Amino acid sequence: MASGDPLVLGIETSCDETGVALVRGNELLVDATASSMDEHARYGGIIPEVASRAHLEAMIPTISKALGQADVDLSEVDAIAVTAGPGLVGPLTIGTSAAKALAVGLNKPLYGVNHVIGHAAVDQLVDGEFPERVMALVVSGGHSSLLLVDDVATRVTELGSTLDDAAGEAFDKVGRLLGLPYPGGPHIDRLAREGDPEAIRFPRGLTAAKDQEKHAYDFSFSGLKTAVARWVEACRDAGREVPVADVAASFAAAVVDVLTAKTIAACRRHEVDTLVVGGGFSANSQLRELAAKRCAEAGIELRIPPIRYCTDNGAMIAALGSAVVRAGVAPSTLDFGVDSQMPLTTVSL
């Protein structure tokens, strides 16, 4: 980290976490988060209006907490980065409104940046600058995206994405099917470690030969979710007890098999020898283990940040903001709008 690197304040509000962080260069000074997850648990999913109100209530306290922990005054901030998309419109609007107010009040440049790319950029706070070219697999409750990153601040190419359910979303839906608490991902992960991943052969979406030309790097988990539902229903109709651990293990194996196989194939085709995995689902233990195994076999360096950086957080937005600022990218104008479907080729607005 150079002493002259700008101090960037990052704000993340794409879903249910209010994240605020301060980054200088690739050094994280502080990362503060307020979550409204408990308020959504009783509904079995995120309620945008509830999340928006929670962001509104948490914004100033979370910013104050971050500044206090870092012993930094707002006047010392050089630039502000905020999630402009993808995400939920209401929560995104709360975050960008706060960031715009700070930018005007402090007379500092503002950068509306991409949430998904932030999930990859945060690894630079842990493992240092990316090499010249990396592959990024970003998997979460809302995204399953495969990105070719030539420059995290300016040049990102989307190779593939989910055509229906994202990996984390599929885990939550199967969790509900099995009667597990929301969010289902951590519970399925725990149960899967107790079950047999080969007990049930669930389908691997978009892996047939006919899919390779058009959807070589795309993902689909809707059919898998339906297959699990039908298997469980047939088991119950026959009066048998559902082997929950085996279902969880076999389902998880199908998801991570597809994710890792397509990602390794993309690395080989594009001659990339560094893979970054990020997003909330990258906390999944089966994904981490299989990615490590297949990367080792293929001679690919695997970079996965610690679990605390996998879920939505301010550090990922501050990290991407820092990279964008240092790359000399022009700031966003104050009239930019949020984009719930922000293209993954757009790093910043």
CATH code for position 234: 3.30.420.40
Query: Are 152 and 271 found together in one domain?
Result: yes
Kindly give, in sequence order, each residue whose CB lies less than 8 Å from that of residue 312, ignoring residues fewer than 6 positions away: 12, 14, 15, 16, 17, 19, 115, 280
Question: Which residues have C-beta within 8 Å of that of residue 38, sequence separation ≥ 6?
Answer: none
Same domain, 293 and 237: yes
Decide if 78 contacts 111 (C-beta within 8 A): no
Same domain, 260 and 318: no
Does residue 72 sit in the same domain as residue 169? no
User: Which residues of the chain have a pLDDT value below 50?
Assistant: 1-2
Query: Does residue 335 belong to any structural domain of this protein?
Result: no
Q: Which residues pair with 137 in a beta bridge?
A: 146, 277
CB 28 within 8 A of CB 309: no
Residue 2 lies in a domain: no
Which region, left, alpha or beta, applies to residue 279 given φ > 0 means left and ψ of -120 to 50 means alpha? left
Domain region containing 90: 7-122+313-326
Torsion of CA 186, 189, 192, 194, to 10 degrees: -70
Cα angle vertex 9, ends 310, 83, to 5°? 55
Is residue 256 included in any domain, yes or no?
A: yes
Is 72 found in the same domain as 150?
A: no
Report the C-alpha gap between 89 and 339 in whole angstroms: 7
Token output for 158: 């989307």
CB 249 within 8 A of CB 289: no
Structural domains in the chain (count): 2
Same domain (yes/no): 133, 116: no
Per the domain annotation, does 91 fall within a domain?
A: yes
Same domain as 155, residue 68 = no
| The predicted structure's pLDDT at residue 254 | 98
Looking at the fold, whether 23 and 102 belong to one and the same domain comes out as: yes
Q: CB–CB of 335/36 below 8 Å? A: no
Residue 108 Cα distances to 52, 94, 209, angstroms: 25, 19, 52
Q: What is the C-alpha to C-alpha distance for residues 15 and 281, in angstroms, rounded to an integer?
A: 15
Shared domain for 135 and 275, answered yes or no, is yes
Do 289 and 321 belong together in one domain? no
Contact 332/110 with Cβ under 8 angstroms? yes
Element (H, E) at 15: none
pTM exceeds 0.85, yes or no: yes
Give the alpha-carbon dihedral of 328, 349, 50, 172, to 10 degrees: -90
pLDDT at res. 126: 96
Instruction: Answer whether 30's CB lies under 8 Å from 22's CB.
Output: yes
List of residues 6+ apart from 241 with CB closer than 8 A: 235
Whether the CB-CB separation of 69 and 32 falls below 8 Å is answered with yes
Q: What is the residue-averaged pLDDT of the chain?
A: 95
The rounded distance, in Å, linking the Cα atoms of 241 and 236 is 7
Q: Are residues 295 and 318 in the same domain?
A: no
**Whose CA is closest to 81, among 61, 59, 103?**
103
Each residue of 205-240: pLDDT tens digit? 999 989 888 999 999 999 999 999 999 999 999 999
Listed residue (114, 50, 77, 60) closest to 316, CA to CA:
114
| Nearest one of 114, 152, 115, 112 to 136, comparing CA atoms | 152
C-alpha neighbours within 13 Å on the C-beta side of residue 25: 10
Find out whether 67 and 38 touch, Cβ atoms under 8 Å.
no
* pLDDT computed for residue 3 by the predictor: 58
Structure confidence at residue 40 (pLDDT): 63
